[in-house]
Structure 1
Amino acid sequence: MSQTADAVFRHADILIIGGGLSGTLLAAQLLRLPGRRQILIIEPRAELGRGEAYSAVELGHTLNGNAARMSVDPDNADDLTHWLTAHIAAGGWPESDQQHVPISELFPPRGLFGVYVQQRLTEARQVGAANGSTVEHVRAEVVDVQLTVDSVLLTLSDGQHLQGSQAVLATGMFPAARTPQKQSSGLNAAALDPWDVAAMRKLDPQSTVLIIGSGLTMVDAVVSLEQAGHRGPIEVFSRHGLLPHVRRQPPAWADFLAEDHSIRSPRELLRELRRQCRDASAQGVDWQAPLDTVRAHIGRLWNQATDVQRRQFVRHVRPWWESHHHRSPPLSAKLVERLHAQGRLRIQAASYKGLEPPSMDGVSIRIRRRGETETCVVQGAALINSSGIEYDWRRVARPLPQQLLARGLVQPGPLALGIAAAVDGAVLDTNGQAASRLFAMGPPLRGMWWESTAVTDVAAQAKALAARLVR
């Protein structure tokens, strides 16, 4: 590989590409480990620790897990609960009393969660400073990565060049609503951002809004519309017409997967899980109790499944898994339930087939309702793309994913979910060779572990990867 002769490379020990939750938690873990090291986090946003998920500013956009489930400290499940207790006692988040539950059961606003992550990074900086370790935020986007025998070279959007001994792809999620597609249908250009309340305030309050997708992003979009003062019809279209269940606080249930290691395939898991849920219901226990014990085992089960089994799961089970497992926070779920009962919000099982030519009256889309062969056109004043996360890097029209794929430094993960990596996070190139200096964590490893986006998953990965990097 050749370098331009006049390129000036700034050096660091570890380069973290992405400063959302993943990159920030990794930096915090590295700072807390003994030793002296210089860390650079390359993130185009003004603040670290927020990323796509926690940059929300509206109080109504809350976490979809309660405080007891969302600690960023893998060794202390009550860390967020303790932080919230002190924060509320100091006068922060006065609206918390509207949820009428103990602090451990609160669903904090996502913006406030970002503050919590930032404070934990600040504390880690102080620990690192005692050892001579530093972390610096470089505000730019990484547009290219090159590997040499002894280093990783980064090219940034502002023309800077960075060189490090190791680099980590902590790129986070690519929300479909905000991600340019390599083969664009023009959907995002015609659609409103699901979290842009200011843009929604410009709509006629009584107008019809169309939403594609019925998962948690749709729930956020409905909250945004409500806060913008929208009072008109909302038409939601998704392939299966499934809504996320509301997240409740079920009692403890025996960890049946820890007790029975004979369960190895997704089909066996579903069969046993249904039996456990029936047993719970027969005992008057919430069916969410046995389901919640499964999370700790998902990575193992998914990783040991065959490609055929994974494909069957994604094709036949995924919609129901998502609606049951990725549940809606109670306040948001109540809003969706109320609008549905009023007839203002309708959920239709239908596939999105494309945009129609624009008109002065708003936006039109072509859909095919489930069970029908013919398509039809539906019109509204505005359209929102709530189709979730884009995990296939081949479709993401951003410089870094495209360059990594073009250089052969990464390959698509199982079922094209994220990228392939070894168990320790070392990325696999197109030849299946594990890199010695380039690693990944968080959402890019969706194909490896299936559940690789939740806070607890990312926190555990950050701790393990930090230990791997400093060895």
Structure 2
Amino acid sequence: MNQPSNGQATRATRDADVLIVGGGLSGALLAAQLLRLPGRRRLLVIEPRSELGRGEAYSAVELGHTLNGNAARMSVDPDHADDLSRWLGDYIAAGGWPESDQQHVPVSELFPPRGIFGLYVQQRLAEAQALGAVQGSTVDHVRAEAVDLQTNADAAVLTLDDGRQLRGARAVLATGMFPAARTPQTESSGLNAAALDPWDVAAMARLDPRATVLIIGSGLTMVDAVVSLEQAGHRGPIEVFSRHGLLPHVRRQPPTWADFLAEDHSLRSPRQLLRELRRQCHEALAAGVDWQAPLDTVRAHIGRLWSQATDAQRRQFVRHVRPWWESHHHRSPPLSAELVARLHAEGRLRIHAASFKGLEPAADGGLAISIRRRGETQATQVAGAALINSSGIEYDWRRVARPLPRQLLARGLIQPGPLALGIRADAGGAVLDAQGRVAERLFAMGPPLRGMWWESTAVTDVASQAKALAARLAALG
């Protein structure tokens, strides 16, 4: 694009007011919020997938891959907690998702398939697009992968994998999550090359249904993998290996409980929080109330608690508390949990507390892994017909072998977040460079800010960040 004679980019010479890098949930919600605000602005969403609003999480097509939260907890409208419940009720009434009656609960308590949730996000984006058009705002989908980004005094310049360059007044890293099973690693063990995708039912259907399947990791991705295997017709043994051998608890619908953290701001360290949380849970159980009720009140305070903690306290939490926090807080949808429990009771699914040490050569076309069981010093081999990497999300951008993260780090435009989780930014999402300077043209939201807020991946977190960041970008002009 031609530049003005004075060397400065103007609004007329830029391709967009805001370049949104990533068109999954984060990018779609930010675009929707910007389109709803008064004023005229041009938005470009750079996303290699054919559709916006789905990303990694909501591109699933199998009905068995559901949200791990019920509809009442998953609204993309931070001002209306019942937005998804209302949309879903209308969708079902119009003949969509007839299988919903199998859950036997009110609409607000349904756990919809992730593919249907993706439709909901897309519809809300389309509505915002129509509203923006009235005000002269536009959003366009650029189907490409961003591979490099530079900033100068006038613009953010994004380079695409097809060689094109786009200029915007601001750029936002809305890259979403990097699932370990689908993300190239800078220091690869070869696991992904040998493993099946946890969500690829078609590939699993090609296995011998009686074959032994090995799974690394026992969190929610493992639950999805087990659902995929079941839908593929697999009926053989499933051996699951994770460091602590913990399974996600099933998500229930507990009654309300007093928000004890709102009443007592003296609870700051992980140790203080855990001590009081245990007391609250014991108190609930003694009163005949589900222990999940007190735990669920903590959700609203996680960002504050994490941001005010010292690095030493954060490390203490990650090292000693994180596995139990994940299994108790990131809970499994009921139908998926029932499947895992049934297979475990039948003896078909076994959970092992063991660390994955690497791949091993195996005879007769199979594969083998080296694992070290908890309490043992020597590694042992375990053989199977197939392997699935369900180790969750890769948050350390230094380990992600994708062009854009590597270029941003190499250029010093970003720095790793606390404990190397995501990237560092100020409280409003402006990225900090390698020298700690606050960027004027580069912002981030959602999962990349995991290290700043700990819980920065849930729908409600992303929705709230999208609204706040949109207001900040609009104010900058």
- TM-score class, shorter: over 0.9
Superposition deviation, residue 10 in structure 1: 5.9
8 Å CA contact retained: 1:206, 1:230: yes
**Pairing partner for 2:74 from 70, 73, 79:** 70
Superposition deviation, residue 403 in structure 1: 0.1
1:285 aligns with 2:289: yes
1:73-125 per-position Cα deviation (integer Å, ceiling 9, x unaligned): 00000000000010000000000000000000000000000000000000000
Partner of 2:118: 114
TM-score by length of 2: 0.97
Aligned AA for 1:312?
Q
Superposition deviation, residue 14 in structure 1: 0.4
Which SS does the other structure have where 1:271 is aligned? Answer: helix
Counterpart CA distance in 1 for 2:422 and 2:371 is: 28
Partner of 1:304: 308
Q: How many residues align?
A: 464
**Pairing partner for 2:334 from 324, 330, 333:** 330
Aligned AA for 2:283?
D
Which SS does the other structure have where 1:16 is aligned? Answer: strand
8 Å CA contact retained: 2:14, 2:167: yes
Superposition deviation, residue 158 in structure 1: 1.1
Partner of 2:197: 193
Partner of 1:360: 364
Aligned AA for 1:334?
E
* Alpha-carbon distance change, 452 to 177 in structure 1, aligned in 2, over 3 angstroms: same
Aligned AA for 2:403?
P
Which SS does the other structure have where 1:347 is aligned? Answer: strand
Counterpart CA distance in 1 for 2:378 and 2:188 is: 24
Counterpart CA distance in 2 for 1:268 and 1:303 is: 16
Aligned AA for 2:444?
A
Partner of 2:127: 123
Partner of 1:315: 319
Which SS does the other structure have where 2:15 is aligned? Answer: strand
Superposition deviation, residue 219 in structure 1: 0.1
**Pairing partner for 1:97 from 89, 95, 101:** 101
1:234-253 per-position Cα deviation (integer Å, ceiling 9, x unaligned): 00000000000000000000
Counterpart CA distance in 1 for 2:342 and 2:307 is: 40
Partner of 2:441: 437
Superposition deviation, residue 226 in structure 1: 0.1
Which SS does the other structure have where 1:293 is aligned? Answer: helix
Counterpart CA distance in 2 for 1:81 and 1:359 is: 52
Partner of 1:79: 83
Aligned AA for 1:111?
G
Superposition deviation, residue 405 in structure 1: 0.1
1:390-410 per-position Cα deviation (integer Å, ceiling 9, x unaligned): 000000000000000000000
Superposition deviation, residue 183 in structure 1: 1.0
1:453 aligns with 2:457: yes
Superposition deviation, residue 359 in structure 1: 3.4
Which SS does the other structure have where 1:115 is aligned? Answer: helix
8 Å CA contact retained: 1:10, 1:161: no
1:178 aligns with 2:157: no
Counterpart CA distance in 2 for 1:306 and 1:282 is: 34
TM-score by length of 1: 0.98
8 Å CA contact retained: 2:14, 2:169: no
**Pairing partner for 2:407 from 392, 403, 407:** 403
Name stretches of at least 5 consecutive residues in structure 1 with no aligned partner: 4-8
Q: Equivalent pairs: percent with the same residue?
A: 82
Which SS does the other structure have where 2:56 is aligned? Answer: coil
Partner of 2:25: 21
1:305-341 per-position Cα deviation (integer Å, ceiling 9, x unaligned): 0000000000000000000000000000000000000
Which SS does the other structure have where 2:249 is aligned? Answer: coil
Partner of 1:49: 53
User: Over aligned residues, Cα RMSD in angstroms?
Assistant: 0.8
**Pairing partner for 2:251 from 247, 251, 257:** 247
Partner of 2:167: 163
**Pairing partner for 2:396 from 392, 396, 406:** 392
Counterpart CA distance in 2 for 1:180 and 1:465 is: 29
Superposition deviation, residue 150 in structure 1: 1.4
Aligned AA for 1:187?
L
8 Å CA contact retained: 2:446, 2:461: yes
Aligned AA for 1:24?
A
8 Å CA contact retained: 2:446, 2:462: yes
Partner of 1:146: 150
Counterpart CA distance in 2 for 1:297 and 1:95 is: 36
1:32 aligns with 2:32: no
Superposition deviation, residue 267 in structure 1: 1.2
1:129-160 per-position Cα deviation (integer Å, ceiling 9, x unaligned): 11000000000000000001011000001111
**Pairing partner for 2:217 from 198, 213, 219:** 213
Partner of 1:6: none
1:206-241 per-position Cα deviation (integer Å, ceiling 9, x unaligned): 000000000000000000000000000000000000
Aligned AA for 1:200?
M
Aligned AA for 1:103?
V
Aligned AA for 1:245?
H
Superposition deviation, residue 358 in structure 1: 4.5
Counterpart CA distance in 2 for 1:226 and 1:470 is: 48
**Deviation >3 Å, runs of 4+:** none
8 Å CA contact retained: 1:43, 1:137: yes
Counterpart CA distance in 1 for 2:28 and 2:317 is: 32
Counterpart CA distance in 2 for 1:57 and 1:467 is: 34
**Pairing partner for 2:230 from 226, 233, 245:** 226
Counterpart CA distance in 1 for 2:222 and 2:368 is: 19
Counterpart CA distance in 2 for 1:358 and 1:463 is: 52
Aligned AA for 1:44?
P
Counterpart CA distance in 2 for 1:428 and 1:461 is: 17
Name stretches of at least 5 consecutive residues in structure 2 with no aligned partner: 4-12
Which SS does the other structure have where 1:320 is aligned? Answer: helix
Aligned AA for 1:437?
R
Superposition deviation, residue 285 in structure 1: 0.1
Counterpart CA distance in 2 for 1:119 and 1:40 is: 18
Counterpart CA distance in 2 for 1:57 and 1:456 is: 23
Superposition deviation, residue 361 in structure 1: 3.5
Counterpart CA distance in 1 for 2:213 and 2:403 is: 33
8 Å CA contact retained: 2:362, 2:383: no
1:169-225 per-position Cα deviation (integer Å, ceiling 9, x unaligned): 000000000000001111000000000000000000000000000000000000000
Counterpart CA distance in 2 for 1:289 and 1:71 is: 20
8 Å CA contact retained: 1:26, 1:466: yes
Partner of 2:383: 379
Counterpart CA distance in 1 for 2:441 and 2:275 is: 42
Superposition deviation, residue 371 in structure 1: 0.3
